């Protein structure tokens, strides 16, 4: 509230807050903050204005029909570990009991050939596992 809402609306009279001002604020905030942060700041503002409507201080809630930025489903890091890097660097440092979980999902991508899981479980050298 004190970070995003009060700096913008703290000096405004309730009657002066209109739909366009709220939409501009949401759009402007969306350029600097995540969609989740914008949604939370908007929710707080809307609840205060909804209370003002309920108490008959203003006639309508200017937050109605304001469009919020879409929330991203998830941010993904699209980096891909190459098979050689995985098998030469990552698998050897993983404890033996976990190697199967680290390397098995990669096996189909390693030249299309599946390698025996037992080779990963007991081998400290992974050379030759990637076709």
pTM value is 0.53
Tens digits of per-residue pLDDT, 92-128? 888 888 877 776 654 455 544 444 545 544 555 544 4
User: Are residues 90 and 106 in contact, defined by beta-carbon separation less than 8 angstroms?
Assistant: no
- Judge whether residue 131 has pLDDT over 50: no
Tens digits of per-residue pLDDT, 52-66? 999 999 999 999 999
Query: Other C-beta atoms within 10 Å of 128: how many?
Result: 10
DSSP letters, 17-63, are --HHHHHHHHHHHHHHS-HHHHHHHHHHHHHHHHHHHHTTSSSS-TT
> Structural domain boundaries of the chain?
5-54, 83-122
């Amino acid at each position: 509230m004190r970070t995003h809402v009060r700096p913008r609306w703290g000096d405004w009279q309730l009657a002066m807050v209109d739909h366009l001002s709220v939409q501009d604020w949401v759009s402007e905030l969306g350029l600097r903050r995540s969609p989740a942060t914008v949604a939370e700041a908007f929710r707080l503002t809307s609840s205060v204005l909804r209370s003002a409507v309920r108490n008959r201080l203003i006639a309508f809630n200017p937050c109605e029909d304001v469009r919020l930025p879409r929330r991203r489903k998830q941010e993904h890091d699209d980096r891909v570990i190459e098979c050689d890097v995985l098998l030469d660097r990552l698998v050897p440092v993983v404890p033996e009991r976990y190697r199967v979980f680290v390397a098995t999902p990669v096996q189909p991508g390693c030249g299309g050939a599946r390698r025996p899981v037992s080779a990963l479980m007991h081998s400290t050298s992974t050379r030759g596992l990637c076709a």
